[in-house]
């Protein structure tokens, strides 16, 4: 892998002045979220886009996407409440988590959630008891080579199991309308969607007149990071359409997808401060005031390699180990990745993680080592027009914080 160097230039993310704003914090440009949603809408106009709330559940993000007409993929009663508070239509809510408690199903049913995802017989039976007549979709386990985070080991049914589950759901009085898959998070191979579509089509063919009428393309749409090229949404859309065309003579399902990272990642810059620079066993260690417990969980196993920027420090660089501030020995962001930072980087300097709008604040722990959750500052690029800048305090109850 090429070295990941600090970037002295500017980014596409607007950076309005925030006098004396403390770090760490996530600065989120809502105009960039809007642009990403509209770009995906243009690339996949025939697909219902259900935003994966887990990627970034900030109330301002949800309210913006409600205004844009998005649907939502949710995984818990907490996410359900956030969507409803933001004004989401119950008919546009999809419960995508196949692991559900009785109370989860009851909450979803009471709120009018449109569909539920399942991948196990016991869950089908639970849905039949607690949400009779509900629309359900079965999640297939498909190959996820090329993904930063594979899912197939934890979720999904085989093709044989999917056929049996759809038949079981229909026999139990459920609307067994859906089949779907997930190619893994940050999927770098656009052909992965084609393979998933082919697998879903094989299941549909075996069901004949009872073939599913909905196809969930899942998420996994990638965004740029420092660890290699990624296909853009147009490339993914081309692969999807090509695979659908193969089966179009006999199967034309209604389409939905669950983008998360692709809509919010590039909108975010996570800003951190250098706390300590030290030499350990001949290597330079740079310690920040943010780590794996305050929002950078995806650096585990160095699976996501963020683009870095060091404002005001753009001279000679050298390799460094990048670590967080906690007393946990595992709180190391990049040890093996060739991260290069300015040689004159010093305590008090700022290090920025670009493309950090997804799976950062939503992954942050609450109170480890007494450290607070990651604050989120939302703003909108003045060129796009819009809202006032403000800070979301994660310690407060969910809801719009304007």
83 belongs to the catalytic site:
no
C-alpha distances (whole Å) from 117 to each of 96, 127, 129, 356 are 5, 10, 15, 28
The residue from 83, 236, 314, 327 that is catalytic is 327
- Measured from the Cβ of residue 368, the count of other Cβ atoms closer than 10 Å reads 15
Which of 239, 259, 228 is closest to 191 using CA atoms? 239
Q: Are 126 and 109 in contact (CB under 8 A)?
A: no
C-alpha distances (whole Å) from 286 to each of 275, 317, 333, 369 are 8, 13, 10, 19
C-alpha distances (whole Å) from 18 to each of 22, 245, 377, 394 are 9, 50, 9, 19
Q: How far is CA 220 from the centre of its chain?
A: 8
Q: How far is residue 292's CA from residue 325's CA, in Å, rounded to a whole number?
A: 9
Q: How far is residue 214's CA from residue 175's CA, in Å, rounded to a whole number?
A: 11
Q: How far is residue 129's CA from residue 136's CA, in Å, rounded to a whole number?
A: 13
Q: Are 24 and 351 in contact (CB under 8 A)?
A: no
Q: How far is residue 389's CA from residue 382's CA, in Å, rounded to a whole number?
A: 11
Q: Following CA atoms 318, 324, 329, 335 in sequence, which dihedral angle do they give, to the nearest 10 degrees?
A: -30
Q: Strands 185-187, 317-319: parallel, antiparallel or unpaired by DSSP?
A: unpaired
Q: Just list the catalytic residues.
A: 327
């Amino acid at each position: 892998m090429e070295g990941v160097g600090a970037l002295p230039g500017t980014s596409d993310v607007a950076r309005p002045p925030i006098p004396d704003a403390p770090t760490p914090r996530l600065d989120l440009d809502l105009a960039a979220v809007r642009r990403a949603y509209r770009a995906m809408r243009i690339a996949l106009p025939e697909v219902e886009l259900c935003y994966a709330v887990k990627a970034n559940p900030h109330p301002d993000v949800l309210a913006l996407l409600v205004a844009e007409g998005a649907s939502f993929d949710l995984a818990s009663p907490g996410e359900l409440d956030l969507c409803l508070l933001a004004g989401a239509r119950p008919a546009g809510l999809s419960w995508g988590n196949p692991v559900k408690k009785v109370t989860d199903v009851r909450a979803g049913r009471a709120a009018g959630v449109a569909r539920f995802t399942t991948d196990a017989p016991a869950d089908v039976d639970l849905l039949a008891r607690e949400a009779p007549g509900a629309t359900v979709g079965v999640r297939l386990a498909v190959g996820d080579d090329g993904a930063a985070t594979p899912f197939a080991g934890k979720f999904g049914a085989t093709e044989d199991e999917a056929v049996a589950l759809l038949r079981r759901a229909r026999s139990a009085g459920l609307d067994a309308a859906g089949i779907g898959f997930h190619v893994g998070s940050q999927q770098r191979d656009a052909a992965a969607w084609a393979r998933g579509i082919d697998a879903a089509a094989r299941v549909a063919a075996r069901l004949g007149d009872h073939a599913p009428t909905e196809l969930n393309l899942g998420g996994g749409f990638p965004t740029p990071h420092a660890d290699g090229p990624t296909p853009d949404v147009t490339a993914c859309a081309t692969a999807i359409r090509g695979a659908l065309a193969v089966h179009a003579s006999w199967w034309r399902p209604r389409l939905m997808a669950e983008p998360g990272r692709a809509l919010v990642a590039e909108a975010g810059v996570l800003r951190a401060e250098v706390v300590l620079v030290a030499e350990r066993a001949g290597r330079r260690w740079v310690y920040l005031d943010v780590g794996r417990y305050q929002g950078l969980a995806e650096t585990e196993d160095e699976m996501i390699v963020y683009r870095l920027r060091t404002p005001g420090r753009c001279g000679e660089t050298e390799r460094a180990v990048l670590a967080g501030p906690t007393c946990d020995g595992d709180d190391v962001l990049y040890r093996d990745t060739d991260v290069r930072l300015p040689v004159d980087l010093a305590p008090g300097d700022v290090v920025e993680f670009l493309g950090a709008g997804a799976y950062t604040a939503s992954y942050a722990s609450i109170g480890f080592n007494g450290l607070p959750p990651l604050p989120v500052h939302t703003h909108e690029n003045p060129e796009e027009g819009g809202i006032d800048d403000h800070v979301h305090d994660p310690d407060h109850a969910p809801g719009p914080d304007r």
